[in-house]
Amino acid sequence: MRRNIPLIITFITGMVLILGYFVTRGPLHTLYESFSDYFAIITVFAFILGGGNLIKVHLRRIANRAKDWRYSMVTMVGFTVTLIVGMFKIGAPGGWGAAVVEPESWLQFIFDGIFTPLAATMFALLAFFVASASYRAFRARTKEATILLVAACIILLGRTPIGGWLTGWLPPELSFLDLPNLANWIMAWPNTAGQRAIMIGIALGVVATSLRIIFGIERNYLGRDE
């Protein structure tokens, strides 16, 4: 029974959401609209589950003095302070009745003064590692690697105004060799073809997995048999 009831719920919900999309009126479509409304409520529970899981994982790491447990302490302090400040609107000029995103509130300060610079710093570091990795790893070792190398250099130069400056002097009959044109061609043709192939493959995988879940063939989401 513990397995059959979730399977029945999944089957009915899945079928209603699939059929309700194609049937645009009647009770089936009303049910489809209601299920869409429930989504707004279910997402709230996802927050509680996500927060609960974060606390569980990091408290365990701290309790066991696991490797790098001090980082877990930082995570827990950051999580708790932000949660309390946001939930109880501490430091919000308008008090309890004010919006959580009110300017000059403590939560806004945490976002502007701590989160924004930290996130920007982490992302900015990427430029240094990309440059170092390009120098060491981007080698014309094989034919395929050479094609990748040439394409990368064309995109790097063609996606900046200097690309046009470098090859802008070419006569009109050779304009296809203009770096911005070459970069656009790479993006519009080989890139699009590759991306479409990946996307169609993923979409087929999603359809197959969804059908397996709806018809109860795939049951991993129910957890282990106890």
Partner 1 sequence: MRFPEALKRLDRRIIFLLIAASVALPLVWKPQFDDHATPIVQAIYDRMESLPAGSRILLALDYGPSTAPELDPMAVALVRHGIRKGHRIALFTLWPDGLGQINKITDDTIRAEFPDKRYGADYVNLGYKAGGGGAINTMMVNLKTMIPADALGALLDSLPMMAETRSLSDFSVIVSLTAGDPGLKEWIQFAGDIGGIPVMGGGTAVVAPELYPYYPQQMVGIMGGLKGASEYESALMLGYPDTERLEMAATVRMGPQVVSHVVIVLLVILGNIGYLLERKKSIRR
- 96, 123, 169, 221: which one contacts partner 1 (CB under 8 A)? 123
Q: How many residues bind partner 1 (CB under 8 A)?
A: 55
Q: Specify the stretch interacting with partner 1 by CB under 8 A; choose among 58-66, 73-81, 116-124, 214-222.
A: 116-124
CA angle 16, 19, 24 (to 5 degrees): 110
Q: Is 36 in the site for partner 1 (CB under 8 A)?
A: yes
DSSP string, 103-168: TTSHHHHIIIIIIHHHHHHHHHHHHHHHHHHHHHH----SHHHHHHHHHHHHHHHHTSHHHHHHHT
Q: Which of 57, 120, 147, 207 binds partner 1 (CB under 8 A)?
A: 120
Cβ-based burial of 225 (10 A; exposed 0-12, middle 13-18, buried ≥19): exposed
Q: Catalog residues that contact partner 1 under the rule CB under 8 A.
A: 21, 32-33, 36-37, 39-40, 43-44, 46-47, 99, 101-103, 108, 111-112, 115-117, 119-120, 122-123, 127-128, 130-132, 134-136, 138-141, 149, 152-153, 156-157, 159-162, 180, 184, 187-188, 191-192, 195-196, 199
